[in-house]
Amino acid sequence: MTENMNFTKIVEKAKSSGIHLAILNYSLSRMVPFNKPHGFKVLEIDDHHLKTMVPYRKSNFNHIKGIHACALATVSEFTTGFLLLTKLDPKKYRIIMKSISMEYHYQAKMNAYGAFSISDKWMKKMVFEPMKTADRVEILCEIKIHDGEENHISTGLVTWQIKSWDKVKTKVN
């Protein structure tokens, strides 16, 4: 069984099992080492929705002991990208972040939570139908981050480029 198949099974089981959700979080902290120090956690996952948490802890602090803007941007990227990856066949499509724009509304002085949702209809309209005639598509994903008291902390606009692997050209050194 391939590593990807194992991960896909963990994601599927995490949708209905707390133990598998913990295994998913453990696996993600090793698969995405850049995110490990932040301590991001997937709190909820289903076929169309993902909710994540960035903990209020020293490793995420800015100079005034709020959650750093970069941690909020990173959890915005992570949340939108991870949900998209659960909807795409990684053997068929490559996903890469093209741009991110953040607007900050309120200082995060407690755990912060991001939620992102997409539907099968949205995926068909925004990704699968356009990919029939285009080499790539770019999709804009909006994510709002809130704290535990529902204060609106930030809004992220993350643009993802999705391309069929057979259209990807890389320079070989």
pLDDT for 88-116, tens place per residue? 988 899 999 999 999 999 999 999 999 99
Q: What are the CA-CA distances from residue 61 to residues 34, 81, 109, 153 (Å)?
A: 16, 24, 9, 14
d(CA 76, CA 83): 11
Model pTM above 0.85: yes
50: buried, middle or exposed (CB in 10 Å: 19+, 13-18, 0-12)? Answer: buried
The answer to whether position 44 is within a domain reads: yes
The answer to whether position 61 is within a domain reads: yes
Beta bridge pairs of residue 67: 61
Distance of alpha carbon 169 from the chain centroid: 25
7 pLDDT more than 90: no
Count of domains in the chain?
1
Q: What is the pLDDT, as a whole number, of residue 2?
A: 45
The answer to whether position 15 is within a domain reads: no
CATH number of the domain to which 91 belongs: 3.10.129.10
**Distance between start and end Cα atoms, the chain:** 32
Coarse DSSP helix, strand, coil percentages of the chain, rounded to the nearest 5 percent: 40, 30, 30
Name the residue with tokens 């949702």: 117
| Amino acid at the residue 33 | P
Q: Quick: pLDDT tens for 9-49.
A: 999 999 999 999 999 999 998 888 788 888 999 999 999 99
d(CA 40, CA 42): 7
The answer to whether position 16 is within a domain reads: no
Distance of alpha carbon 11 from the chain centroid: 13
Which helix (H) or strand (E) element contains residue 161? Answer: strand 152-164
The answer to whether position 127 is within a domain reads: yes
d(CA 115, CA 46): 12
The domain in which residue 93 lies consists of: 32-167
Rounded average pLDDT over 59-65: 94
The answer to whether position 58 is within a domain reads: yes
